[in-house]
Structure formats: C-alpha cells, structure tokens
Amino acid sequence: MYTELNDDDSIKKRLYGNRLVSSGRALIILGVWSAIKSVIVLYMTMPYIIEYVNEGKAYNESLFKEMSIFVWGVSIIIMVAVFLIHFFVGRSAMKNGYGKKKTVLFLVFDSILVITIVFSIIVGIGEKLDVMDFASILIDLTVVFACVDILYSAIRLKSIDKKIGEKE
C-alpha cells in the first residue's frame, strides 16, 4: 500500500535523520573518550613537562607545585572546551535528526573539528608511532568519520526538506 510516508523522499529523510542521531551520539561518546584520554596522557607526561620547564635549574618544590597546578588548570580548561564542542555538535546533530531544531552553527563547529583533527593526524604521522599513538589515530579517524557523516547527512536532509516543501 502506497502512502505519503513511504515515498522515496520520506524514506531518505528518515534515513538521514537517523544517521544524524547515530553520528551525534557517537560524537558525544568520543568526546568523553577524548577527555579521559587527555587526562591519562597528561598524568603520564607531567614529570616530563615539569622537567622540560625546569631544565638547567635546581629543583624547587614550590615551583614544581605551581607549575603542576598551572599545567593541570590549562589542560582541564582545554579538555572541557573540547568536550563541550563535541557535545554541542553531537546534541545539535541529534536535534536536527529528530527534526526539532534546524540550525547551521553546529556544522561550522563540526567542520572545525574535522580540520583540527585531520591537521593533528598529519602532524603526528611524522613522529615515531607506538601502539598507543596508533590506537589514538584510529579513534581520531572515527571522530572524523562521524563528523563528515554529520555534515553529509545534514546537507542531504536540508535538501530533502526543501524538496518536500516545494511539493506541498
């Protein structure tokens, strides 16, 4: 039985809406993982950071504490900002997929995420990679895939909405 809900455009609209929801959820989860990974990496590299800053100077306990607090503070601010961008893009993609909110600002942030992650992968490839770096690159590529899927699905959904609007 043919109904308006089963025509080609309606099926594609549901498809791209579902893809936006799925990729938005994935981006939020990967944002949480990025924050956790950053804390672990910072914890493991803190002694090297402090050693680099203190190079050529005598060990000073108060300077060590001050530097640790500063490095942790700046790092936490950056981690929260990165997570909030992931959350904003993911949540906005989900709302767009559900048809509740049609904005384009999240697509700008999504594009910025793609550019920065691809740039960081390109810069990191020149260095010696170990297993952790390789795993991190795979996760970053997953984030890029989710972001590109959000861009593609949002653009397709908007064009289908426009096409359906012209029919009515």
**pLDDT tens, position by position, 16-74:** 999 999 999 999 999 998 888 888 888 887 777 777 766 766 666 777 778 778 888 98
Across 3-12, 32-41, 117-126, least confident range: 3-12
**Of residues 168 and 80, which shows the higher confidence score?**
80
Residue 1 has pLDDT above 50, yes or no: no
- Of 159, 154, 155, 141, give the one whose Cα is nearest residue 92: 154
Across 17-21, 93-97, 131-135, 139-143, least confident range: 131-135
User: What Rg, from alpha-carbon coordinates, does the chain have?
Assistant: 21
Give the pLDDT score at 2: 41
Give the pLDDT score at 4: 59
Burial profile 80-115: b = 16 or more Cβ within 10 angstroms, e = fewer: eebbebbebbbbbbbbbbeeeeeeeebbebbeebbe
Question: Residue 5's pLDDT band (boundaries 50, 70, 90)?
Answer: low
Contacts for 161 with CB less than 8 Å, ≥ 6 apart: 13, 102
Indicate the Cα dihedral angle 122, 127, 129, 134, nearest 10°.
-10
Q: Which amino acid is at 89?
A: V
Q: Could you tell me what percent of the chain has a pLDDT over 70?
A: 90
Give the pLDDT score at 37: 84
